[in-house]
Amino acid sequence: MCSNKTGLTYRDAGVDIDAGNKAVELMKESVKRTYTAGVVGDLGGFGGLYSLAGHAMKEPMLVSGTDGVGTKLRLAIMMDKHDTIGQDCVAMSVNDILVQGATPLFFLDYVAVGKLDPVQVADIVRGVANACEESGCALLGGETAEMAGFYGEGDYDVAGFAVGIVDRPKLITGENIKAGDVILGLPSSGVHSNGFSLVRKIVFDHKGFSIDQDIPEFGKTLGEELLTPTRLYPKAVLPLIKENYIKGMVHITGGGFYENIPRVLPNGVTAEVDCDTWPRLPVFTKLQEWGNVDWHEMYRTFNMGIGMILIVDADDVDTVKANLESRNEAVYEIGRIVAGEGPVVVKGAVFND
């Protein structure tokens, strides 16, 4: 006798399989839109299949990266807006593997919720899919976990994993960077996805703002500004990687300029960055003002308006800038590589006050 009409079910424990199935149906179209020629099979397998056929390389190497969104998620939850946070998740991993010269191939996502709302989850995954499509990679698979009693009502977490490919001779390591090379900066879209513990401390705890506070300098509400998704850099940078113009790349994430730039520099050189060479976004000016944050701390925590750094030979600067500008990509010459073993130097008017 196997049936027990009064017995507990998985749904009684807080996990709704039917809701999960509905979420999958709602996200199917978005996911399939990302499929590239390398994808083998369809949704529903125990593992995603991807063929490397067609990548004619001497020594093909896979490059992987994983990350989450962090406390920026709290803002999405506060605003009940979930269709862009997926881009932050994709960008944090895709931009990282791009730094080594890798072309993104595919992405996997993980969404964990307390109670599964199919529409909410589909919104999150749609943001992931849109970002994958823009980055030229397939959303190959993912997982949605309903964890009743683990996450509070309305809470969730998002993480992801990106895989790219690069021919070993074209791997960007920074080992050939030398004194005299030029540092170019590509603008960010805003705060991106780092430093939000400090952001929240400033705007909510210290200033007592509400998420829908209108900020004239932003031309939008506080929440709208802070929820601006992280910029994706593959389209801007991959053509330059193909032409072998880039000697080193830096994704400006947690740790800002001081912690990230040294990660690509060989022994014997350091970097000098002039923070007066690009426009300062209003969001950073206001955060510094509202929190009376030391400028060194600002450049150690945030991207300050520069999300990706390219280090190129001085002889290639004009060509690289012309290439980017011909594709309507803004670029700023923000510094130089100099001889020395010291820490990165960030200089400019704010440091002379």
State how far the Cα of 136 lies from the Cα of 158, in Å rounded to an integer: 21
The pLDDT of residue 1 is above 60: no
Q: Tens digit of pLDDT for each residue in 61-74?
A: 999 999 999 999 99
Mean pLDDT to the nearest integer, 215-244: 97
Nearest to 229 by CA among 101, 353, 341, 135: 135
Q: Is 220 helix (H, G, I), strand (E, B) or coil?
A: strand
The pLDDT of residue 193 is above 60: yes
The pLDDT of residue 188 is above 90: yes
The pLDDT of residue 161 is above 80: yes
Structural domains of the chain, ranges and CATH numbers in brackets: 17-170 (3.30.1330.10), 182-352 (3.90.650.10)
Are the CB atoms for 145 and 110 separated by under 8 Å? yes
Looking at residue 9, its pLDDT comes to 62
Are the CB atoms for 165 and 55 separated by under 8 Å? yes
Across 20-24, 67-71, 160-164, least confident range? 20-24
Mean pLDDT to the nearest integer, 313-326: 97
State how far the Cα of 77 lies from the Cα of 73, in Å rounded to an integer: 6
Q: Tens digit of pLDDT for each residue in 107-116?
A: 999 999 999 8
Contacting residues for 141 by C-beta, under 8 A, at least 6 apart? 45, 47, 48, 108
State how far the Cα of 236 lies from the Cα of 179, in Å rounded to an integer: 25
Mean pLDDT to the nearest integer, 253-265: 95
Q: Is 180 helix (H, G, I), strand (E, B) or coil?
A: coil
